Structure 1
Amino acid sequence: MQQQELIPHLFRNEYRKITAVLCKLFGIENMEIAEDIASDTFLHASELWGIRGLPDNPTAWLYTVAKNKAKDHLKRNKLFNQKVVPMVQNAASELHELEIDLSDQNIKDSQLQMMFAICHPVIPAEAQIGLSLRILCGFGIEEIAAAFLSNKETINKRLFRAKEKLRQLNVKIEMPNEAEINHRLESVLATLYLLFNEGYYSQARDVTLRKEVSLEALRLTHLLTENQATNKSAVYALLALMSFHASRFEARLNQNGETVLYQDQDESLWNAELINQGEHFLRISWEGSTITKYHLEAGIAYWHTIKADTPLKWETILQFYNQLLFLQYSPIVALNRTYALSKANGKAEAIIEAEKLNLSRNHLYHSLLGELYTDIDNGKAVVHFKTALGLTKSKGDREVLKRKIAALDLRK
């Protein structure tokens, strides 16, 4: 991997780990200090590596520099007296005895504890997700704003208010008691779900697939299974869902970086190991007594790992969508259901249901109607595809829509 590619890759993977450990060391009231030290570490790397070249072990180099910067900060800041003196005898002269633990286990523990600190019920759900994307995932403010269809100023204010609330209540970065874990786990899973989707299909930039982000979400979710208190059926259901979707990573883009629709994907590119992993997690998830949206979405994703079009497949998927809408209504879920309805009961019935949704500003709505009207009313199909073309932000989606429009124009 070239240097210009390595630093962004390391930032995406290591920034969040360094930040989580330093937040735990300094306390949540000093979250910005942890972020600043982590950011400064990568700035130093980009400057020095450009002059001297890459070190033998870039990750170890980053950890060493982050530790040294943290110690330097403690030495010159009042935090030294507040937090270090009680921990280390003769601290001023024996600072080297302070261990800033960036071992794999402490990184895992810190990230897990940070997840639950951020997903505290005193702050709104959107702020929980935004903080998690920033602290645990290293997302930039612009990326978070795009995920929320908002702007940088609004997101900055939202995150500032959330941090202030956590400071005021002196929220600890530690695993809460069992009752609190059960209460906060839903928010933690919602955050990881959003993170996976941001990687799987990103509107923040002209990239349809960012595997490393989705795989990091999968890894963080897997952390929850390694702790007895968070080893719940909903966690396994989300892991199953992520595994099934991740299994089709290599088939979703062609060599030109353009989106390959499900029906056109090369099944030989699907990852059998991830499919088997998803099936394993899904079986475990059904052993619980509660059915969540993750169970139902994982069921839908499982049937999409079976390429053949059969009545059983689409009728089963349709029933999963019906249950999902009953459990928690969403216009996008209702839209996805209409595609399953078209495969199970025919396009005519699906068009009626789709048009009732009237999601006129959503490119997926018009893309679906374009598909449904194809070979029924090709004129209407073209109108919807062109409307979708004007609304979508993804270069890959635009290329797909242009090809569909051109194919229908040739039939005139």
Structure 2
Amino acid sequence: MSSTPTMSLFILLSLFGFLAIKVESAPTYSFHSCTDTYTFKPNTTYSTNLNLLLSSLTSNASLHDGFLRTSVAPINGLFLCRGDASPALCQDCVAAAADDILRRCPNQTESIIWYDTCLLRYSNQSFNNIVPSVSLQSNTTVASSEQSQFEQSLSDMMNDLKSEANSQTGKKFATKEVNFTSSQTLYGLAQCYPDLSSFDCNMCLESAVAALPSCCSGRKGARVLLPACNIRYEFYLFYNITHTSSSSPPSPPSSSSGKSNISIVVAIVIPIVVALALFVAGCCFLRRRANKKKYTTFKQDDGSGFGAVYKGILPNGHEIAVKRLSLTSLQGALEFRNEAALVAKLQHRNLENPSDRPSMATIALMLNSYSVTLSLPRQPASFMRGRTPNRLKNGVDSDQSSCSIPWSANEASITGVYPR
């Protein structure tokens, strides 16, 4: 039972925390101004066009980098979000301002409303950048002993903010912080419409800064709100540092940056060249290996000095043998020609035609039997005139007339038919 009150307390604290977050993130109303010179009646064309204009501004609040100027004839409208506002925060602020301005200025043809993070305005006339002007200040003041130091620090900071915001090419928005004392920091902000010229932005900010002594002298916090620009300072951080764009425009590249760019280019090009070289080398290697696969090695170099012999098949089906000279053999073209000539001399020309070769059965019969019938030996191609006596041609020697062993004789050799 004791866990029930604890659970209820936890849920209640969670709800309070959620509500606190929602309230903290909600847009904060600052001020509004309605011009009573001209009014319009409800349910008229002007009323319809005004609703269309506000709807267009609201739907585009997160898409145009915090600023949009548009019109639905004859009404001109715009919104400006603070330079550090996120797109989601800008969208929420403009939507709240569009609903609030119709409630606070229900039938005025020209109105403007400021929130902490945005402003929204519309008019059926050309916009005035200076009027109306609104100042908001803190209820607390700095100590009298610090008054002169405060005014000097504030003046220097505002001059810096004015110059920096006016020099921006995108958002004309700048922030700055100054160490006022060892325990106090002064934060400042300045902003103009992004589409204002440098001259108009400078004039607007000059008017805002000039209003500070008369409205907010010695105050620990103050805002001066003009339609086209605004300034603010506080002794606490009131803007989002991560979204500020107070950095100055990029300076021209120096020589060191040029060198770094060259280094980057070299670092990119060299690996590409090396990769291409490796790719080409790999292709050559694979092609060479594929060509070598067409040959099979049937005799390796035995140390005699020439290299391996490869067996291959030509496209017409003939088998060939290719000897590849070894680089370590130190054999040159002369040695190769000598070897080729030697091989040609050792060729047995009678055995060039396989049909002229005796079969293995005939050879086996010759080796195992005396009853062999051989064809009459033909004159060999390498015929040489012999000097054997005629008596040997008949196969019978005078001293061996009783022998019956037949002889195979030709003009170059005498061969016994039967095996020895």
Measured against the shorter chain, the TM-score band is under 0.3
TM-score normalized with structure 1 length: 0.21
* Higher share of residues assigned strand: 2
TM-score normalized with structure 2 length: 0.20
